[in-house]
Chain A
C-alpha cells in the first residue's frame, strides 16, 4: 500500500462553542471500504463534508488523496465521486441525459449505459428523473457519483429509502467498485450494511471517535450473550457473559418447554448501541462537571 487515501489528525469543526467534530484522528487506506457510523448529529456529515472540500475546518490536519481539501483543485475533483446526503431534486433531464452530462465533466468516465445498469435503472434510462421514486433517484445519485471513474467515493447515507432488493444491488455495486480498487467512505445508519460492506468502521458520537475496528472485531467486543424467554411474569431478557451456565440454571427451574426461548450472540447493533449509550453518558457527565466547575 502506498500513501493512505485519507489522513485526518486532530480534526475539529466548531460552530461557536459547539464542537461538531472534536479532535478526530483517522487513516483510511487506498482500496479500503470504510464505514462511518454514529447517531444523527454525531458529526459524520460534517466530517465528510470537510473531506469533500465543502466545509472549512477549525483545526487539525487533513489530507485527501494527498491534497488539503480546504484548497480543492479541479485535478483533485476529477478523482473524487461524491454522493450527498440530500437526494438530488427532480431535474427535468432523463436518467441517461443526467448521467451522460456528468460523465462529460470527467477525463476518463465509465460507460454511461453500464453505470445506469449497475444501479438497476436501465428500464428508467429514458424517463425524466422527476418521475422516479425517491429510492430510484437515490440510485441515480449513486450513478452520478461513480460515472467519473473516481479513485475515492464518498457516499453519505446512500441507501436511505432503498427497498431490500435495491439495497442488495447497491451492495453488489460497492463490491465491484472495491474489486476495481476504489476507496469508499460511506456513512450509514444500517449496521447490517456496514457489517456486510466495510473492511473497517468507525463509530463517532459527539464529534469524537468512540470505536475503530473491523466489523468482526467490533462485534467481538460484546461481553454478554442475550437469553430471552417468556414465563408467567411475561417476556424476560438476560444479558450474561456465561450463557451456558445461565441456560443450565434456567432449564433447571423450568420443566417442559420454555416459551419463546432464544439464545443469541449480540449483534453489531447491540455493541453499537452500547457504545453510543456509553458515549452519551460520558458526555452528560462531562457537561455536569463543567457546570459544577
Chain B
C-alpha cells in the first residue's frame, strides 16, 4: 500500500479531457451541431451579404468569419458546456464524481482543455472554409498569431469558467437550453458578429461593451482583418489592452461564480 502513489494532477486533468472529448465525439448530434453550425452560418451570411464592402477594402464575409470564430468559442465554452453540465447534474454524473477522489478543480481544468481541443478544430474548419469558398487567406505574420494565441486562450478560459458558473443557473437540465441559449443569441446580435458593430445604435454598443463577446470578436478581427481596418472600429483602434482587461475581468467573474455557485448535486438534494 505504501508504495502506491496517487495519480498526478496533470494526469487527472488529461484523463478527464480525453474522456470528455471521447464522449463528445460519440454524441454525434452535439458534435455535428458544434462544428456545422458556424460553417452553415458562414455560408448563409456569405451568400446573403457577401460582396458588400464595409470599409478599408474589407468584405463583410471577412468580418463575419472573425465574428464566427469568436462566437464559436463562446458556443463551445459557454453554451454547450453550461447545458451539458446542467444535464450531467440532473443525471447524478456530477454527484458520482464528487464522491470520487477527483479534485474538483481537475474536473474544471479537464473541461477547459476539452473546450480548447474542440475550439481548435472548429476554428481550423472555419478558416479552411473561408479560404476555399471565399479566398480569405489566414494571416502569415507571427505577430498576428501571437495575438490570436492570447485572445484565444483568454476567450476560452473565460467562456469555460462562465459556462461552469452559469451551469447552476437553470433549475434543471431540461430548462438549461431555454435559459442559456438566449443569452448567447442576444450577445451574438449586439457584439459585432451578425452585424457590423459600428452600425449598431450607440446605446446598444454601450450595452455590448459590458459583455465579453464584443471584445473577443474585436480581438479576432485584429488577427484576421487587415491592420488598416482598425480605423473603422468604434474607437479607431483594436484596443488590445482593453480586450485583455475585459477578458481577464470576465475570467475572474467566471472563476468566482464557478467556485461560489457550482453545485455537484441537484437543487434540494442536500
Residues of A whose CB lies within 8 Å of any CB of B are 52-56, 74-75, 77-78, 80, 82, 84, 86, 88-89, 91-93, 97, 101-102, 104-108, 128, 144, 148
**B140 in contact (CB, < 8 A):** no
B1 touches A105 (CB 8 A): no
A54 touches B12 (CB 8 A): no
13 contacts between A and B (CB under 8 A): A54-B99, A54-B265, A56-B270, A77-B100, A77-B101, A78-B101, A88-B93, A91-B23, A104-B11, A105-B7, A105-B12, A105-B101, A144-B96
Chain B residues with CB below 8 A from A105, complex form: 7, 12, 15, 100-102
A74 touches B92 (CB 8 A): no
Instruction: Pick from A74, A86, A89, A92: contact of B101, CB below 8 A.
Output: A74
Chain B residues with CB below 8 A from A77, complex form: 99-101
* B122–chain A nearest beta-carbon distance, Å: 20
Instruction: Pick from B4, B15, B92, B103: contact of A88, CB below 8 A.
Output: B92
Of all chain B residues, the one with the shortest Cβ separation from A141 is B96
Give chain B interface residues in 10-31, CB to chain A under 8 Å. 11-12, 15, 19, 22-23, 26-27
A101 touches B15 (CB 8 A): yes
A107 touches B6 (CB 8 A): yes
Give chain B interface residues in 253-270, CB to chain A under 8 Å. 265, 269-270
**B199 in contact (CB, < 8 A):** no
- If A53-B99, A80-B99 are given as contacts, then 19 extra A-B residue pairs at C-beta distance below 8 Å, sorted by A number, are A52-B99, A54-B99, A55-B270, A56-B270, A77-B101, A78-B6, A78-B101, A84-B96, A88-B93, A89-B91, A91-B93, A101-B15, A102-B100, A104-B11, A105-B100, A105-B102, A106-B6, A107-B7, A144-B96
Residues of B whose CB lies within 8 Å of any CB of A are 1, 4-7, 11-12, 15, 19, 22-23, 26-27, 91-93, 95-96, 98-103, 265, 269-270
Q: Complex: how many Å from CA A106 to CA B95?
A: 17
Instruction: Pick from B4, B91, B95: contact of A54, CB below 8 A.
Output: B95
B27 touches A92 (CB 8 A): yes
Q: Complex: how many Å from CA A102 to CA B97?
A: 9
Chain B residues with CB below 8 A from A84, complex form: 92, 95-96, 99
A104 touches B15 (CB 8 A): yes
Q: Complex: how many Å from CA A101 to CA B19?
A: 8
Q: Complex: how many Å from CA A55 to CA B270?
A: 5
Chain A residues with CB below 8 A from B19, complex form: 93, 97, 101
* B173–chain A nearest beta-carbon distance, Å: 11
Of all chain A residues, the one with the shortest Cβ separation from B97 is A105
Chain B residues with CB below 8 A from A88, complex form: 91-93, 96
Q: Complex: how many Å from CA A89 to CA B84?
A: 14
A106 and B101 contact, Cβ closer than 8 Å, known pairs A56-B270, A89-B91, A93-B23: yes
A82 and B99 contact, Cβ closer than 8 Å, known pairs A92-B27, A97-B22: yes
Q: Complex: how many Å from CA A77 to CA B99?
A: 7
Q: Complex: how many Å from CA A80 to CA B102?
A: 12
A-B pairs, top 6 by smallest CB distance, nearest first, are A92-B26, A77-B101, A108-B4, A107-B6, A89-B91, A82-B99
